[in-house]
Amino acid sequence: MIDLIRPIRSLLLVVALFLAILVVACVTVPGPATEELDEEGALHLSGLCFGPYLDGQSPSLTGPLPPEQIRELLAVIANSTDSVRSYGNDNGLDAIGRYSHEIGKKAAIGAWLSRNRTLNEQQIDTLIQMGQYGEADVLIVGSETLLRADLTKAELLGYIERVKKAVPGVPVTTAETYGIYLHNPELFTAVDQVYVHIHPYWDGVGVDTAVDTVDEAYSSLLQRAGSRPVVIAETGWPSAGEPNGAAVPSMENAEQYLRAFTAWADREQVSYFYFEAFDEAWKKDSEGEVGANWGLWNHDGQPKYGLLGGRTTGVTPMSGSSFTRTTGGIPKMTISGRTFVAIGPLPTSLETSRKW
């Protein structure tokens, strides 16, 4: 008698695996917005870079931030994004992941790494704890540390590997400019997801062609990333400050870029964190006037462009999923024993000329 049960079971397993691939494709990264504008005409963003420092506050001068301040600022942006990205985890910032989850947002939590190795140890230890406590959906080990030459490549890779071993259930990455990634291919194999900064303003590109630059850089990274998801971890346009080549800060140009970029990201189904939620006056000391004017909301919590604050329309994070890492370092998602590996198209190459 022919045994039909075994081939039927095999077929069902293949079908289940295929369905799982479709379902969990965007579980660990900020989901691309399903619509550029909601029904009320308000933009909904895949993710937002979140700095909770008000005027007169800064990471170097301010002690622990009041929990109610962080909660209130998260509430301002809650209807405009699916995900929040943070940069450091001291002075009360370690609560960002927990508070984000409380309001249904995913959290990409950072450890701020500098030339101070003692503080680096504290940042890494706290990042690991947050990952182990379930307060982060992605762990970001440093932001532009190689660009600033604060760490050697070997040091950064060591920190990344340390966090990956300590928190095997959460994707681990580092955030760098696209030029740094392209010049350091070891980063692609070290991270679970490619978190990249693409800023046409810092490249001196005019606003009319800025999104073309983003598209070319993003395509170049997809080619190098292989199966790893690529997330634009920063992009934006300043509303005031000094011109950089053909890139001119203004309210009009910032709104033009916001509209053009989100339309492109929606069309191409790109996951991103827009830079940034609020204007941060403290950045003026290190970056000039332009550094204080990247926010979509001003320091009073008022939207600057009249395009923000609608009902949530983005991809909803799935429940019951987990992240697993293969021995080769290729990121996968598993749900009920079924595995997903992201595959990207083949694009062109590009290098960056970003200057600070």
- List, as one string, the DSSP characters of 182-218: HH-THHHHH-SSEEEE--TTTTT--GGGHHHHHHHHH
**pLDDT of the residue at 37:** 55
Task: Report residues of the chain scoring pLDDT below 70.
Answer: 1-41, 309-356
Rounded to 10°, the helix 210-225/251-268 angle is 40
**pLDDT of the residue at 307:** 74
In this predicted model, what pLDDT tens digit does every residue of 274-286 receive, in sequence order? 999 999 999 999 9
**pLDDT of the residue at 32:** 56
**pLDDT of the residue at 324:** 58
| Max Cα distance, the chain (Å) | 82
In this predicted model, what pLDDT tens digit does every residue of 28-82 receive, in sequence order? 456 654 444 555 568 899 999 999 999 889 998 778 999 999 999 999 999 999 9
* Domains of the chain, each with CATH number or no CATH: 28-340 (3.20.20.80)
| Residue of 315, 313, 317 whose CA lies nearest to 41 | 313
Detail the DSSP E strand segments found in the chain. Answer: 45-49, 81-85, 106-111, 138-143, 172-177, 194-197, 230-234, 322-325, 331-335, 338-340
**pLDDT of the residue at 220:** 98
| Residue of 195, 121, 129, 197 whose CA lies nearest to 158 | 121
Residue 72, preceding peptide bond in cis (omega within 30° of 0): no
In degrees and rounded to multiples of 5, residue 194 shows phi and psi of -90, 110
**pLDDT of the residue at 353:** 33
